[in-house]
Amino acid sequence: MGDTTDLLLAALEDAIRGDEEAARERLRRLEEDTSAALEEFFGSGAEGVRRQISGNFEDLSRMASAVAVLRSVPAAGRDRFLAHGERISAAVVARALQARGLPAAAFDAREIVITDGCFGRALPDFPEIEKRARERLLPAAGRGEIPVLAGFIGSTRSGETTTLGRGGSDWSAAILGVSLGASVVEIWTDVGGMMTADPRVVPEARVIETISFEEASELAYFGARVLHPLTLAPAVEKGIPVRIRNTRDAGPPGTEIRRDAPPGPAAVLSIASKSGISTVDIITSRMLMASGFLQTLFEVFARHGTPVDLVTTSEVSVSVTVDDLTRLGEIRRDLEKIAQVEVASGRSIVCLVGRDLKFKPGIAARIFRAVEDINILMISQGASRRNVSFVVEEKDAEAAVRRLHAEFFP
């Protein structure tokens, strides 16, 4: 039942375009795929599970019809629509555990994971979540039950469904783990842990046994797809280790992410890349020996709620990278009031993460020797002693990662 959220997004986009039939066809396909999974797992018991989740598909169909008529959907409606995928999965998983004789108990995550009203990127209300989780989940666990909750979703205090953003299920696990005072948070996924590179790009990539919170956060933010960048934040604060394990191979221990990890012999731990990046170059002589210009510049990005990844400066220019392009047009118009602006898309960030890279002589030479025939568009090291990043055209990113991996992991 993978790719459900992608299918729901596609159906919603069909409906927004007014193509109700295309939207309904995608929803029919999702329902058929779900039914096939139920038949395979539950056999003769599939019908009971199907009846339990049928209301979700009816709701999706009604919403798609309404959106097709209006040709638009508010942010709150989008979250309600997308939340159905996780709600269906959680219900099915609870029933699957029960069918195997395990005392699972389904809970509606929206009654426990309380968030603000920033639909699509909701932020958790930790005090309220802790209160509700301890009131509802701990007693169930104390009775020997296995609480099952959907990830990715929550609700406002007034009961409106929210989502935490793509990849938010990992974050949900950490939020609940912290709220319940867990000794460890485990993320079970389809790879053996955090790796020295994306195995789809570098087949010989290796699992990293132990990594620090800071190093894992850098990798997650700069493109390592194993876990959501925000997953680590609540665990870091409480010092709870996070383990990444492989659902399809439960034997190996995977990767343990800890507040402090013991130093290893390798300077570089991993190489990640993030595509879909745009660079924004801001050029003006008003920067020359002026104070306050950078504040004015970054206030534009803040006003439009768009975070910046990398920053480089010269006497008369600033270059930044952004991966959220939804408000790039408005940002450009505001910046053009104070400077000349050049925007280029189709870029990728390549990031090397390690321990004390800033103080290791020869690291930079090895990096740029490995990619000497690839055009480097922007370089950033900054204050981080763990990260060296540079920007290339998207078409060159995978070659850069492979060459760097061969250099640092022979």
Structure-token match 């989502």, residue found: 163
User: Which of 40-49, 50-59, 191-200, 390-399 is predicted least confidently?
Assistant: 191-200
Query: In whole angstroms, how far apart are CA 255 and each of 225, 241, 351, 355?
Result: 14, 10, 20, 17
Tens digit of pLDDT for each residue in 163-200? 998 778 889 999 999 999 999 999 998 888 999 999 89
Structure-token match 């999706």, residue found: 60
pLDDT at position 219: 86
Alpha helices in 106-159 (DSSP H): 126-142
CA distance 26 to 21: 9
CA distance 118 to 76: 9
Give the other-Cβ count within 10 Å of 185's Cβ: 24
The pair of three-digit structure tokens given for residue 250, joined into one six-digit string:
């439960």
How much is the average pLDDT of 16-34? 96
338 shares its domain with 206: no
Under a CB-based contact definition with an 8 Å cutoff, are residues 399 and 373 in contact? no
pLDDT at position 295: 87
pLDDT at position 222: 81
257 shares its domain with 288: no
pLDDT at position 292: 76
**Is pLDDT above 70 for 289?**
no
pLDDT at position 266: 78
208 shares its domain with 274: no
Out of 262, 291, 319, pick the residue that ends a domain: 262
- Nearest by Cα to 196 from 369, 351, 20, 12: 351
Reduced to 3 states (helix: H, G, I; strand: E, B; else coil), residue 185 is strand
- Nearest by Cα to 160 from 201, 113, 128: 113
Asked if residue 144 belongs to a domain, the reply is no
The pair of three-digit structure tokens given for residue 287, joined into one six-digit string:
């920067």
315 shares its domain with 221: no
Structure-token match 């599939």, residue found: 46
Under a CB-based contact definition with an 8 Å cutoff, are residues 408 and 271 in contact? yes
Number of domains in the chain: 2
CATH number of the domain bearing residue 227: 3.40.1160.10
197 shares its domain with 253: yes
Asked if residue 224 belongs to a domain, the reply is yes
232 shares its domain with 354: no
Asked if residue 282 belongs to a domain, the reply is yes
**Is pLDDT above 70 for 383?**
no
The distance from CA 404 to its chain's CA centroid, rounded to whole angstroms, is 24
Range of the domain at 278: 268-408
- Write out the E strands in 77-225: 104-106, 146-148, 153-155, 161-163, 185-189, 210-212
Beta strand 255-258 with 104-106: parallel, antiparallel or unpaired?
Answer: unpaired
CA distance 393 to 397: 7
pLDDT at position 294: 84
Give the other-Cβ count within 10 Å of 397's Cβ: 22
The pair of three-digit structure tokens given for residue 296, joined into one six-digit string:
């004015």
290 shares its domain with 381: yes
396 shares its domain with 285: yes
Q: Is 6 exposed, middle or buried (0-12, 13-18, 19+ CB in 10 A)?
A: exposed
pLDDT at position 344: 95
The model's pTM: 0.80
CATH number of the domain bearing residue 372: 3.30.2130.10
pLDDT at position 374: 96
Please count the helices (runs of H) and the strands (runs of E) in the chain. 12, 14
288: pLDDT confidence band, cut at 50, 70 and 90? low
Please provide the average confidence, as pLDDT, over all residues in the chain. Answer: 91
| Secondary structure of 337-397 in HEC code, one letter for each residue | CCCEEEEEEEEEEEEEEECCHHHCCCHHHHHHHHCCCCCCCEEECCCCCCEEEEEEEHHHH
- Nearest by Cα to 193 from 214, 209, 205: 209
pLDDT at position 381: 77
Tens digit of pLDDT for each residue in 87-138? 999 999 999 999 999 999 999 999 999 999 999 999 999 999 999 999 999 9
Asked if residue 89 belongs to a domain, the reply is no
Write phi, then psi, for 212 (nearest 5 degrees): -80, 160
Out of 195, 228, 262, pick the residue that ends a domain: 262
Out of 262, 281, 308, pick the residue that ends a domain: 262
